[in-house]
Structure 1
Amino acid sequence: MPPSTHTVTNQAPPLVDYDVFSADPALAEGVARHMTPERAEEARAELTALGRTAGSAQAQEWGRQANEHPPVLRTHDRYGHRIDEVDFHPAWHRLMEHAVTAGLTDAWSRPDGQLRRTAGFYVWSQVEAGHSCPVSMSHAAVPALRKEPALAAEWEPRLSSHVYDYGLERPAGDKLGAIAGMGMTEKQGGSDVRANTTEATPLTGEGAGEGEYTLLGHKWFCSAPMSDVFLVLAQAAPGKREGGLSCFLVPRVLPDGTRNAFRIQRLKDKLGNRSNASSEVEFDGTTWARRVGEEGRGVATIIEMVAATRLDCVTGSAALMRQAVAQATHHTAHRSAFGKLLIEQPLMRNVLADMALESEAATTLALRLAAAYDSAAGEGEQAAADRAFLRLALPTAKYWVTKRGVPLAGEALECLGGNGYVEESPMPRLLRESPLNSLWEGSGNVQALDVLRALQRSPESLNAFLTEIGRAHGADHRLDAATKDVFSQLADLDGIETRARRLVERMALVLQGSLLVRFAPAAVSDAFCASRLGGDWGAAFGTLPSGLDLESIVDRALPVA
């Protein structure tokens, strides 16, 4: 019935039924930039279809439902048998099904696979971020498994499948596709995985195969415990010189159809990421596992998985920022105050433009990293250069981009005012999700220290990083000055660890600035260099200096295909 007291006016319509891919020029242009015209056209068609689904009212409703109805742990069935299963709302499965069908667990089967998959992950993560965790790990497990060719031959086709086949009723060998999880951290160690105490004992005797072990211990954070298989770290032959921290593959269901000993103690009650099941698990000494890679080389083995998931952290944060900017610009383009649309108000335009710069810089950097991954898989000088570039650029980007999501999500929420603070809005979910990627796969300090290690141990990485930045030399005097400042900081090693964060932040900004100067419209690159590199920028969003083309920047950010 119509309201009896007033007429509802001046409210923005929901941001639905739009193409998430085509409405994002920074994304669409970036994909085309790094591909041949033929492959770019093929990718555009795929990503447009995914973008339309991502922007649909139905998909947005799935995201809402998956978070309103979080997973539930069932340790036992009605008869008292231990089952350790996690129940999900049907909306979760719809999200997972679309992600897997779209190839978001498969970057390995065709040219430009990393770039295509990264762009798709960016698009689909804007629907709902929680289910992106098992999607990311299933994709990222493949390079680690390739350290053990026999296991890779068995599991890579399952993990790269475009069929979502959920459930623990059958062994993975009888399914059309599989999902992977990961367990590294323990209570006493956290990021210091070498402090892990979980023990791996080799199986001996009749019927024991090579590389088979049993595990005894725990994992304080085990992601996606409903997955078919996990990569975990444990101490092989503890106390013996030939042992040490090693990587193991742990299936949930054994080849004969029986359940592996995989005890889910509880699900974590998290700030955000509510739709995803993060858990504490225990291995009881009968948990069957296969070693992946050499004994004592666990970190070196699983680091390939960590690197791939770190790229997804960058991409996921860039996607979150893009969705926050899309919501803010959409709302202000429909909401009026003081006689004008909010988007026309000079101060609001400054806020929106500032956030749009942050978003586009993150997106452009994520796509450059993905293109480097594709190149690095090949042979020759460019492949070697991109491998070296990633060694330094990836932790640098992981540090900076994931940290920018939190203030941007908060500022975007404020653009919607009270309408953004209520749970019917998507903004609270974005804000709660925003700190996650800076924690996952290594906090800010871990990333900063990783950059220092790369600088000390891999001089070729610094050369590749500086070569990338140098491609924009002479195009903007503020970028050139900031690059010189980075040189100065690198030359002064006194107290370098204490000021590592400051160094890594500056490196990230210079890298983003060099990419925008080369590839973004002049209005975008000029504003980025003037604020982030020129020093005329405040602590809050909305402090861009005068004289910039803010209208063009905001128009570019509007989610209108």
Structure 2
Amino acid sequence: MARLDGVSGLHTHEVQNQPAPAGDRDLWQDDPAMRRMLPGDGAGVDGLARYGELLGRCATRDAAREANRHPPELCLFDSGGRRLDEVKFHPAYHQMMSMSVAAGYHAVAWQGGEAGHRTHAAMVYLASQVEPGHCCPLTMTYAAYPVLRAASGLPGDWADRMLSHRYDPSVQPMAAKAGVTVGMAMTEKQGGSDIRANTTRAEADGANWRLTGHKWFCSAPMSDAFLTLAQAPGGLTCFLVPRWLDQGRNAIRLQRLKDKLGNRSNASAEIEYDCALAWQLGEEGNGVRTILEMVHHTRLDTAMAPAGLMRAALREAVHWVSHRSAFQRRLVDQPLMRAVLADLVLDWQGSLALGMLVAQSFDGQDPQDRAFARIGVALAKYLSNKLCPTVVAEAMEVMGGMGYVEDTPLPLLYREAPLNGIWEGSGNIICLDVLRTLARDPLAARMLAARLDAVQGHDPALDAALAQHRARWGADVPEAEARWFAERSALLLAAAALVDSAEPAIAETFIQTRLVGDRGRLGGAISGRSAQRILAVGLPFAGE
């Protein structure tokens, strides 16, 4: 439907000093920072260009708003009292899913193209700017693929069907569908992150298994199957639980949908397995190691999504200040406003560069790349998610009261900002994982050191910060200092990524304001000259 132009000349007053609604945007062409971080040509970049253009259209942004205004509904029974255990979504949600599945969000990393994981990471970044809720089932499907690809004895071509670029929300067995999605049901009430405390039981049923128990969080309950953990006789084991069988519904009972702060377009549920049919994945008793392959890949997405949220919030703030005046000056021309925006740009671009550096290691095939991916993704997830809520809140404040109103995207972005820091390991879990990885995986420690050493000599301030970091922490980091250590390590790694991939003004000022010198804890602690340089290269559309 075409957008109507509003009438400014009203009987009671003239509408003035209000930015016009933003028209179609191109999220790919509009983002030179993102484009610098990917190979310059090829099918992956062409696909990203098309995806970014589609996501930026007014019609897509309108669909995203509708998907969040009309959250999913739980349908437990039909009119006669027969169980349905289904979730009903607004058509706008299905529109978003169709667009992203067709683009290959969930599949491109596994289909043999150049820079597949970087292309996937860029899609996460782009989609999160518009409608982050529908990313959940696609991220889960992306992350589950290597687990199912390695499995033996599964009935049907689950792995192949997961790579389909056709979205099929129909309720029927996998063999009858054009494409499938795979979710995860791992968390239980009593354990939370301590998944070894899970009590769901697995009992052998011939070559299959039957699961009985309760799951406190089931991500994307309308997926076609779920990776899950249960206690088998040989210990905690990983299973694939299909939602539909050839003979009908599997015994997966939806209890309720979670009433979440954000991520509203996406359903999250409590479920019960009531002797549900399941297929074993990996060795019996080796469930944690098996499912950690999925968790490892979801962490890449939780590192990239906050960069997208930050970018979206900044884009709205810049549009506002470029078209609004106060005290006879445009807001974007006021020195303090420019200092705040420039500071936010540094947080966003540091997170983006760090996430893409890590995604590049996911594309690597040798042990060194895999080792760096293990440590790098944890550091990127931690830093980006600690920065994201503050950046979004500052962008909201830039817009004043309008930023707090649902007429703008800022409330959606603000509700979403804490999510990825909680999902797949909250801050303390991630920082303790960093310490464990460095202690138990010497290759990961060497690869982290090598990445930081590779940029030595480019900036004396960065060299000094790295030397100070290593003098402060040797091989044994106290557990109580895990957050401090992870933050500094991630900032150093982000600076190294910016040295390699960003405009010099961005990298230089990031180092000066994040790693050395005096700086306040709040946004806007940056000099006027530095702010001018950063906005010129970081937000070239500022003042449009």
- The reply to whether residue 247 of structure 1 matches residue 238 of structure 2 is yes
CA–CA distance in structure 1, aligned partners of residues 541 and 188 of structure 2: 42
TM-superposed deviation, 1:44: 2.8
Q: Percent identity?
A: 45
Partner of residue 6 from structure 1, selected from 13, 22, 27: 13
TM-superposed deviation, 1:540: 1.0
TM-superposed deviation, 1:292: 0.3
Q: Which residue number corresponds to residue 384 of structure 1?
A: 367
- The reply to whether residue 274 of structure 1 matches residue 273 of structure 2 is no
Contact persistence 2:503–2:537 (CA under 8 A): no
TM-superposed deviation, 1:488: 2.1
SS in 2 for 1:14: coil
TM-superposed deviation, 1:311: 0.3
Q: Which sections of structure 1, spanning at least 5 residues, go unmatched?
A: 238-242
Taking the TM superposition and a 5 Å limit, the aligned residue runs for 1:460-479 are: 460-479=443-462
Deviations along 1:325-376, whole A, 9 cap, x unmatched?
111112111111122211111000001001111111111111111111111x
Taking the TM superposition and a 5 Å limit, the aligned residue runs for 1:35-46 are: 37=40, 40-46=41-47
**What letter corresponds to residue 176 of structure 2 in structure 1?**
D
Q: Which residue number corresponds to residue 75 of structure 1?
A: 76
TM-superposed deviation, 1:27: 0.5
CA–CA distance in structure 1, aligned partners of residues 536 and 19 of structure 2: 17
TM-superposed deviation, 1:384: 1.7
- The reply to whether residue 330 of structure 1 matches residue 347 of structure 2 is no
Taking the TM superposition and a 5 Å limit, the aligned residue runs for 1:227-376 are: 227-237=223-233, 243-254=234-245, 256-284=246-274, 286-375=275-364
CA–CA distance in structure 2, aligned partners of residues 489 and 160 of structure 1: 47
TM-superposed deviation, 1:468: 0.7
TM-superposed deviation, 1:536: 2.5
CA–CA distance in structure 1, aligned partners of residues 505 and 155 of structure 2: 47
CA–CA distance in structure 2, aligned partners of residues 388 and 332 of structure 1: 44
- The reply to whether residue 163 of structure 1 matches residue 146 of structure 2 is no
CA–CA distance in structure 2, aligned partners of residues 262 and 388 of structure 1: 37
**What letter corresponds to residue 216 of structure 2 in structure 1?**
W
CA–CA distance in structure 2, aligned partners of residues 356 and 98 of structure 1: 29
CA–CA distance in structure 1, aligned partners of residues 533 and 24 of structure 2: 25
SS in 1 for 2:218: strand
TM-superposed deviation, 1:539: 1.1
CA–CA distance in structure 2, aligned partners of residues 149 and 482 of structure 1: 49
CA–CA distance in structure 2, aligned partners of residues 97 and 260 of structure 1: 26
CA–CA distance in structure 1, aligned partners of residues 490 and 156 of structure 2: 38
Number of equivalent positions: 534
- The reply to whether residue 413 of structure 1 matches residue 404 of structure 2 is no
Contact persistence 1:516–1:524 (CA under 8 A): yes
Q: Which residue number corresponds to residue 143 of structure 2?
A: 140
CA–CA distance in structure 2, aligned partners of residues 361 and 108 of structure 1: 27
Q: If the length of structure 2 is used for normalisation, what is the TM-score? A: 0.95
TM-superposed deviation, 1:120: 1.8
TM-superposed deviation, 1:559: 5.1
Over the residues paired in the alignment, what is the CA RMSD in angstroms? 1.6
Contact persistence 1:114–1:371 (CA under 8 A): yes
Q: Which residue number corresponds to residue 15 of structure 1?
A: 22
TM-superposed deviation, 1:171: 0.5
Q: Which residue number corresponds to residue 487 of structure 1?
A: 470
TM-superposed deviation, 1:48: 1.6
TM-superposed deviation, 1:149: 3.4
Contact persistence 1:530–1:545 (CA under 8 A): no
Partner of residue 542 from structure 1, selected from 501, 514, 524: 524
CA–CA distance in structure 1, aligned partners of residues 53 and 247 of structure 2: 40
**What letter corresponds to residue 253 of structure 1 in structure 2?**
W
TM-superposed deviation, 1:551: 4.2
SS in 1 for 2:154: helix
Q: Which residue number corresponds to residue 240 of structure 1?
A: none
SS in 2 for 1:131: helix
SS in 2 for 1:491: coil
Deviations along 1:70-110, whole A, 9 cap, x unmatched?
00001111111111000000000000000100001102012
Contact persistence 2:335–2:528 (CA under 8 A): no
CA–CA distance in structure 1, aligned partners of residues 166 and 378 of structure 2: 32
Deviations along 1:242-283, whole A, 9 cap, x unmatched?
x111100000001x2400001110000011111110100001
- The reply to whether residue 50 of structure 1 matches residue 71 of structure 2 is no
TM-superposed deviation, 1:453: 0.4
Q: Which sections of structure 2, spanning at least 5 residues, go unmatched?
A: 1-6
